[in-house]
Structure 1
Amino acid sequence: MFEKISIRFSKLNGGHLLWIAVLFSEALTFVIVSSMSLFYNERITREFVITGAITAFIVSLIITAVLVALIKELRVNEKTLSELTSRLHALSIKDELTGLYNFRYFNERIDEEIDRAVRHRHAVSLIMGDIDHFKNYNDTHGHPAGDYVLKRAATCFTNSLRTHDVIARYGGEEFAIILPETGKPAAHELAERLRYMFEIEKFPDEETQPGGMITISLGVAEFPSDAVDKTSLIKMADDNLYIAKKTGKNKVIIT
Structure 2
Amino acid sequence: MLYLVEHFYSIQGEGRYTGVPSLFFRFGGCNMKCEGFGCEEEASDGTKVLGCDTVYAVNKEHFSFNWSPIQKTQELLNVLDLYELPQRPVDIVLTGGEPLIYANEGIFVEFLEKLHEEGHKITFETNGSIAVDFEKYPIYKECIFALSVKLSNSKEPFRKRVNGDVIYSIASNAKEAFFKFSIDADSINLGLDEEIFNITLHSPRTQVYCMPLGGNKAEVEANTEPLIEFCKAKGYNFSDRLHIRIWDQNKGV
Q: With the length of structure 2 as denominator, give the TM-score of the two structures.
A: 0.25
The answer to which structure has the higher helix fraction is 1
The answer to which structure has the higher strand fraction is 2
Q: With the length of structure 1 as denominator, give the TM-score of the two structures.
A: 0.25
